[in-house]
Amino acid sequence: MSSSRIGGGAKHRLMSEMQELSREKWVNIDLVNDNILRWRLGLMVVNPDSAFNGGYFKAEMTFTDEYPYQPPTFRFQIPIYHPNIYPDGKLCISILHTPGEDLTSGEAASERWSPLQGVESVLRSVLLLLDSPEINSPANVDAGVMYRDDRASYNKRAKEIVEKSKNDIPAGFILPTTLEPPPPPKSTDDDAAFWAESDEELDFGGSDTGDDDEVAEFDEDGEEEGVSDDDDN
């Protein structure tokens, strides 16, 4: 399949996913420079049992023309003290790792990215990780030790981060306090059928993204600071 067809398929898939996610109350999505391959997110924690309940966390996701065959990248834009979050905001999470089994890490192929995954599954995995850290392989060792040995101090620090995050809530935006139960997971048969369509049906022509392949980082005011490096995870 030509690169233009891959690019067109990626953009079509992402537009469909963004439309679906726009109905959800726990995530707020904007595009960077109207580029469907670069998403700026407000990810909300609405779980009274979570240390991060009430948080509005700015994040960014970037995609390549090879999506969904290659995973997106995800990065929080504010520091979050959490066992599985690096100081630069990137996550140590299996679903964002490239497809296939990794004997070194011990991750099974089913735990890693696959084309049947999507943005929603990534975001729900991130929210689950915030609620239930994996401390056996921490990205932040100190946070992992505090979570294990001094939960009260960990929860206090999390609440401080939550209060700071509320400064990023857009003007006029109402943060939800409760959410309806999520719908049942979509059958993977539906996704498989979609990607079994003919090349002609997926040939959207693809547009030249120019320098959009470079992923910009942004400060809290939304100004470009440079370009981010590749996700190391």
pLDDT in tens, 183-194: 555 544 555 555
CATH tag, 3-184+209-227? 3.10.110.10
For 63-93, the pLDDT digits (tens) are 999 999 999 999 999 999 999 999 999 999 9
Q: Where are the domains of the chain?
A: 3-184+209-227
| Selected catalytic residue, list 32, 44, 92, 129 | 92
Distance of alpha carbon 192 from alpha carbon 116, whole angstroms: 7
Dist. CA 38–CA 18, nearest whole Å? 11
- 56 CB-near residues (< 8 Å, 6+ apart): 42, 43, 44, 165, 166, 168, 169, 175
Q: Active site includes 187?
A: no
The pTM of the whole model exceeds 0.85: no
